[in-house]
Structure 1
Amino acid sequence: MGGCQVLGQAWGGWRRGLGIRATPTAAGFGTKARHQLQRRGASKPSDPPGDQPFPGLLRPETFSREELVDVLRAAVVDLKGPLVTLNKPQGLPVTGKPGELTLLSVLPELSRSLGLGEQELQVVRASGKEASGLVLLSSCPRTASRLQKFFTHSQRARRPTATYCAVTDGIPVTSEGKIQAALKLEHIDGVNLVVPVQSPSRKDIMEGVKRTLSHFRVVATGSGCALVQLQPLTGLHPAREQHFPPVHTKAQVSLKIVTQSCQLQVFPSQLQAHMALQLCPVLGDHTYSARVGAVLGQRFLLPVEGTRPQRQVLDEALLGRLCLTPSQAARLPLHLHLHCLHLPGARPKDPPIELLAPLPSYFSRTLQCLGLHYQ
C-alpha cells in the first residue's frame, strides 16, 4: 500500500467500510447519529446485568506490548489509504513518559502488524486516556498536515469536529447549551487536576489559565441520569474580550475572562470538569465528581481548595438500577466516548464525512439498565 496517497482516494473506502454518510451539517447533533447510538445502546447484554457489571472492559495497564498491539489491531475500524481509524479502549493513554506503555509507544509495531511496513503512523486525533472512542492515525505526513489544517480552520470558525457521548449522574437544568469556564492545570498531591479560575488576573494568564467552551445536548433522561452529547469547541477570536455568564445559578459561580490574551483551548479532562460545573458529573468520574456536594437532594459546588479526588459516590437507588455493589461502583469506568469525528470531503466542495465508533459494551449495558431511550 502506498504510503502517501492522495487523500481523496481514501474517502470511498471510508464510506463503505464504516457505513459513513456525507452530511452538509457536520457541526450539529443530527438525528441520524442519535438513531445510530440508539441501535447500539439498546442491545441487550449477553448475560444478566449482575453477572457482568462491565462487559467488554479492558485493562490496558496489564497488557504486554504484544498484547496491546493485538488489542489495537482488533480495534481497527477501517484501514484505507494512509488513514487508519480505531476504537480505543478506555484507560489507554495516548502519550506518556519515556518507557511507559502507550498508544504512541506501540505505533511502530502496530504499523507492521497492519502491513504498512516501515511507514510511520502518527496520531491525528484521539480521545483522552480515561475516555474511549475514535483515534485517527495517518501514515502520510501530507495527509496528516491537511487534516490538522482542517481541524484548525474548524476551530477558528467555531465548527465542532468531535462529538462525545457521556452518561451523567444528574440531569442538566437545560436540554442544551454552552459551558464556558476559565481553567488551569494544577499539580495537587502528585496529581494534575483541572481547576476553575474566577476572574483570572494577568498573573493567572501567564501561569497557564485558558478559557474553554463546550456545547452540550441532552439526548435522553432516566433514573436521575442523562445521556448527553458533548462537543468541545475552540476558536473564540483571541482578540475579543469574553465575559462568561454564571456556570449554574445554584452554584453561584461566575467564571470570567477579562483579558484579550487568554486563548481558548481544549484542556485534558475539560469535559469532565465542565459537567461537574453543571452539577452533573460523568458516570465513572472518580476525580471531578467529588466537587459536587448535596444536601437534602440539592446539589452545589464544593470549594475546589478543600476537595480532593475520590471514588465517585452513587446513591442506593442508582446502584440498584445499575445492579452494582458499592465495591463494583468504585471500579466503574468513565462513561465518556468519542463517538464521532468530522473530516473534510474528498474535494473542497464535497460535504464533510462522519466517522463513527460503536459504544463500548459496558456503556450500552448502562444505557439499558437506566432505561435511557430516545424520544
Structure 2
Amino acid sequence: MGERGRDGCPPGHMRTTLAPEMGGCRVLGQVLGGWRRGPRVHVAPETAGFGTKARHQLQPRGSSKWFRPVGNQPFPGLLRPESLSREELVDVLKVAVVDQKGKPGELTLLSVLPELSQSLGLGEKELQVVRASGKETSGLVLLSSCPQTASRLQKFFTHSQRAGRPTATYCAVTDGIPATSEGKIRAALKLEHMDGVNLVVPVKSPSRKDILEGVKKTISHFRVVATSSGCALVQLQPLTVFPSQLPVHMVLELCPVLGDHTYSARVGTVLGQRFLLPAESTKPRRQVLDEALLRRLRLTPSQAAQLPLHLHLHRLHLPGTRPQDAPIELLAPLPSYFSRTLQCLGLHYQ
C-alpha cells in the first residue's frame, strides 16, 4: 500500500484533462446531460497563450498529429468524427492530459473513458467526469479516477456556488457590444419542450409555484475585455448553474454569442435597433451575420452557418490538495478557431 492523500486516494489520482476545442460537441454531448450535438470534434492546439499568470497554464503533453493545423481552414482545429476511430479518440484525449494529481455504440467521451483509463495506466480504476464545459462549449474537462477526490471537488463547487464565489471563468465573442462594460445578468429560466427539443425560456416575475415547477433564478457576472467591429470579447462568470445559461444571458443583453445557432434568433433588429423577440414563438435557426461582419471574419454565408459557438471555459479555480495549500488555478488555451476570430475582428486580450 502506497501513501494516500487526505481524501483517501493515492497521490496522482486526480486527472485534469484539457479539451479546449471539444465544443462541437458529440464528444462531450453525452457527458453534459445526455445531449447529442453536431458532427464536430475539437482538439487542443499546440500553440495558444490566452490568459494571465496562473498556477497551471495548460498545454497538452507531448505532440499528436491531431493538433496540427490543416491548410487554410475557416475553423482550424475542427475534426470530423468520420476521421476518428475509438483508438484515435483515446489518443486525442491522452495527449490532452496536462496535469496529473491525484450510450452504447456512440462515440462520446463517456464511451471511451475505460480505454482512456487503461491508456493512462490506471488499471481497473474508473474515470469519472467532475467538471466539464457546457453544451457546445469548448474548454476544460476535469476527470478523476478517485471517488473521494471527485466528491471533495463537487462539494467545493457546490459550497462556492452557495457562497456566491465563481469558480469558472468563460471567454466569449459576442455579436454586438453590451450596453455597460461590466455587470450582472439576472434572469429566471426554465426548460420548455418546443418542437421536439428542450429550449431555455426566460420567465418574468416567477411565482413560488414556478420555482417549485423547475424555474430557476440565474445570475452571471460579465466584463467586457475588448471591443471592435461591432463585436466584443467578454469574460463571463456564472454564479448559478443552468443549461445554456450563458448564451441565453447574452441574448438577453442583445449580444448573442458568435456561433449561437439556437438562441440568437431571439434578437431582432429594426432600423439598426435591437430588441428581444418572444422566446416562446421564436424557433431556433442558424445565426445570421451581417455582410460587414462576414467580410471581417473572411467567411461565406455557408461557412458562417457552421460557425462554432465562441464560448470557452478558460479558467477554473480548485482547492489546494491540502487545507494549507494555496488554491489551484487552471488556464486552458483558446481553440485555434477562437484565436483566428479574435485576429480577424481586431480583438485583443488585455
TM-score bracket, normalised by the shorter chain, equals 0.7 to 0.9
Q: Are 1:269 and 2:269 counterparts?
A: no
Cα distance change, pair 4–295 in 1 and its aligned pair in 2 (3 A): farther
Deviation at 1:181, TM superposition (A): 0.5
Q: Are 1:70 and 2:45 counterparts?
A: no
| 1:191-210 paired onto structure 2 within 5 Å | 191-210=197-216
- How far apart, CA to CA, are the structure 2 residues paired with 1:2 and 1:60? 40
- How far apart, CA to CA, are the structure 1 residues paired with 2:150 and 2:3? 12
Contact kept in structure 2, 1:134 and 1:339, CA below 8 Å: yes
Residue equivalent to 1:325? 300
Residue equivalent to 2:336? 361
Contact kept in structure 2, 1:2 and 1:81, CA below 8 Å: no
- SS for the counterpart of 1:109 is helix
Deviation at 1:205, TM superposition (A): 2.4
Deviation at 1:170, TM superposition (A): 0.6
| 1:227-266 paired onto structure 2 within 5 Å | 227-234=233-240, 266=241
Deviation at 1:5, TM superposition (A): 4.4
Alignment deviations for residues 318-354 of structure 1 (CA, whole Å, 9 cap, x no partner): 0000000000000000001111110112332433110
| 1:165-204 paired onto structure 2 within 5 Å | 165-204=171-210
- How far apart, CA to CA, are the structure 2 residues paired with 1:103 and 1:3? 30
Residue equivalent to 2:107? 101
Length-normalised TM-score, structure 2: 0.80
Instruction: Structure 1 unaligned segments of length 5 or more: list them.
Output: 15-31, 83-96, 235-265
- How far apart, CA to CA, are the structure 2 residues paired with 1:101 and 1:329? 26
Contact kept in structure 2, 1:163 and 1:340, CA below 8 Å: yes
- How far apart, CA to CA, are the structure 2 residues paired with 1:6 and 1:61? 44
Contact kept in structure 2, 1:276 and 1:291, CA below 8 Å: yes
Match of 1:121 among 127, 137, 154: 127
Match of 1:340 among 298, 309, 315: 315
Alignment deviations for residues 41-80 of structure 1 (CA, whole Å, 9 cap, x no partner): xxxx9789xx3210011334874433322222222222x2
Q: Are 1:53 and 2:59 counterparts?
A: no
- How far apart, CA to CA, are the structure 2 residues paired with 1:140 and 1:4? 11
Alignment deviations for residues 126-162 of structure 1 (CA, whole Å, 9 cap, x no partner): 0123011101111111111111111111111111001
Alignment deviations for residues 16-36 of structure 1 (CA, whole Å, 9 cap, x no partner): xxxxxxxxxxxxxxxx97446
Residue equivalent to 1:293? 268
Instruction: Structure 2 unaligned segments of length 5 or more: list them.
Output: 17-48, 59-67
Residue equivalent to 1:86? none
Identity %: 80
Alignment deviations for residues 254-288 of structure 1 (CA, whole Å, 9 cap, x no partner): xxxxxxxxxxxx11111011100010000000000
- How far apart, CA to CA, are the structure 2 residues paired with 1:270 and 1:293? 20
Cα distance change, pair 280–190 in 1 and its aligned pair in 2 (3 A): same
- SS for the counterpart of 1:339 is strand
Cα distance change, pair 4–165 in 1 and its aligned pair in 2 (3 A): farther
* Equivalent AA in structure 2 for residue 307 of structure 1: T
Residue equivalent to 1:314? 289
- SS for the counterpart of 1:193 is strand
Residue equivalent to 2:218? 212
Deviation at 1:2, TM superposition (A): 6.9
Per mean C-alpha deviation after superposition, the further-off stretch among 60-69 and 303-312 is 60-69
- SS for the counterpart of 1:221 is strand
Length-normalised TM-score, structure 1: 0.75
Deviation at 1:203, TM superposition (A): 3.7
- How far apart, CA to CA, are the structure 2 residues paired with 1:306 and 1:61? 36
Alignment deviations for residues 173-220 of structure 1 (CA, whole Å, 9 cap, x no partner): 111111110000111111111100112234422321111111111111
- SS for the counterpart of 2:211 is helix
Q: Are 1:145 and 2:154 counterparts?
A: no
- How far apart, CA to CA, are the structure 2 residues paired with 1:267 and 1:231? 13
- SS for the counterpart of 1:365 is helix
| 1:13-52 paired onto structure 2 within 5 Å | 34-35=51-52, 51-52=72-73
- How far apart, CA to CA, are the structure 2 residues paired with 1:297 and 1:3? 65
Cα distance change, pair 351–3 in 1 and its aligned pair in 2 (3 A): closer
How many aligned residue pairs are there?
304
Q: Are 1:81 and 2:56 counterparts?
A: no
Residue equivalent to 2:170? 164
